[in-house]
Amino acid sequence: MAKARKVIITCAVTGSIHTPSMSPHLPVTASEIADAAVGAAEAGAAVVHLHARNPKDGSPDQSPEAFAPFLKVIKQRSNCVVNITTGGAPTMSIEERVRPAATFKPEVASLNMGSMNFGLFPMLARQKEFKHAWERPYLEGSRERIFKNTFADIEYILTTCAENGTRFEIECYDIGHLYTLRHFADRGVVKPPFFIQSVFGILGGIGPHPEDVMMMKRTADRLFGDQYRWSVLGAGRNQLPIAAMAASMGGNVRVGLEDSLWLGPGRLAKSNAEQVTKARQIIEGLGLEIASSDEAREILELKGGDKVAF
């Protein structure tokens, strides 16, 4: 009997996309982030994708000093693959955004593959009260703010981390981002296998329709053949439906409170682990198996958790 295909679950534990006031369950402090990451791994996430926050007001913090406390704890408590953001927040410089990955040399780091409108302001229609002064202006500012990821920015991140042995979770929010990756691959700036994270449902990027998902997969197949591993991220209420679709199409999935606060209609997820458990149920319901962290390392050809700098 043929072996079941292994599906990698990535969990985006916390991030700058959602503001703390929008859910009481978002981890903010270093200990909360560490606990959330370990809990997600125990629930079945092979990879944990991490941002850091200012513990006082929950604002995005891309300083290496903010990452260090929870990175060390996660490594002590779990075998999971750690994926550090280079996205940070659209308000940060590229030099600021790359510092944690350059400092800690993780197995995986995220990499946004193009500049775009990144519309968070529709959340203002649902959230009327905010706990911290920075939150409303941060969301409102996305009406006119561009999330800058130029060719020079992308190359700066790739070359800064070139000697670290770090692979990238290559975040593609639209079809053109796949062609940008092809450009850098043709120049030899980034090497296969590529771990392509297709992002659906962000205002300014590709939509969440099944046709969008299929078009992204078809284009990646044509551009990269067997040189890539595909994963999907559905924003907000699109998270689990798109995860189910991608898993059935041969893909991997990403869930987590960075991408969606919800477990179901009107139901806030109480933890990242709850979302991982839901994704695992979908995957196993399709007759597939989730990948362990070491299996994910083999599939993605990672350097190993013993070769990081934390």
**pLDDT of 197-226, one tens digit each?**
999 999 999 999 999 999 999 999 999 999
Evaluate whether residue 214 is within a structural domain: yes
For 10-45, write each residue's pLDDT tens digit: 999 997 778 999 999 999 999 999 999 999 999 999
State how far the Cα of 245 lies from the Cα of 122, in Å rounded to an integer: 26
Phi/psi zone of residue 304: left (φ > 0), alpha (ψ -120 to 50 degrees), beta? left
pLDDT of residue 292: 98
**In total, how many domains does the chain have?**
1
For residue 55, what pLDDT is reported?
96
Q: Any alpha helices (H) in the chain, and if so which ranges? A: 30-43, 64-77, 94-104, 135-140, 151-160, 175-186, 210-224, 239-248, 272-285, 293-300
Residue-range definition of the domain harbouring residue 158: 6-307
CATH number for the domain harbouring residue 81 = 3.20.20.70
Does residue 60 fall inside a structural domain? Answer: yes
Residue 193 and residue 186 in contact, taking contact as beta carbons nearer than 8 Å: no
Whether 72 contacts 310, CB under 8 Å: yes
- Give pLDDT, residue 6: 97
Residue type, 227: Q
Structure confidence at residue 117 (pLDDT): 98
Gap between the terminal Cα atoms of the chain: 41
pTM to 2 decimals? 0.97
Whole-number Å distance between alpha carbons of 82 and 67: 12
Hey, what's the torsion of the CAs at 82, 38, 237, 281, to 10 degrees?
110
What local confidence, expressed as pLDDT, does residue 17 receive?
A: 74
Provide the pLDDT for residue 80.
Answer: 98
The pLDDT assigned to 4 comes to: 77
**Mean pLDDT over all residues of the chain?**
97
Convert the pLDDT of each residue in 246-281 to its tens digit.
Answer: 999 999 999 999 999 999 999 999 999 999 999 999
Percentage, residues of the chain above pLDDT 70: 99
Share of the chain above pLDDT 90, in %: 96
Question: Does residue 56 carry a pLDDT above 60?
Answer: yes
**Cα–Cα distance, 74 to 40 (Å, whole number):** 11
Per-residue pLDDT tens over the stretch 219-245: 999 999 999 999 999 999 999 999 999
Q: Is residue 1 part of a domain?
A: no
Separation CA 144–CA 73 (nearest Å) = 38
In a domain, 161, yes or no: yes
Q: For 88-119, what is each residue's pLDDT tens digit?
A: 999 999 999 999 999 999 999 999 999 999 99
Alpha carbon distance 26, 259 (integer Å): 11
Q: Which residues of 35-50 are buried (b: 16+ CB within 10 A; e: fewer)?
A: bbbbbbbebbbbbbbb
Does pLDDT of 1 surpass 70?
no
Pair type for strands 81-84 and 194-200: unpaired
Confidence of residue 146 (pLDDT cuts 50, 70, 90): very high
Mean pLDDT of 164-171: 98
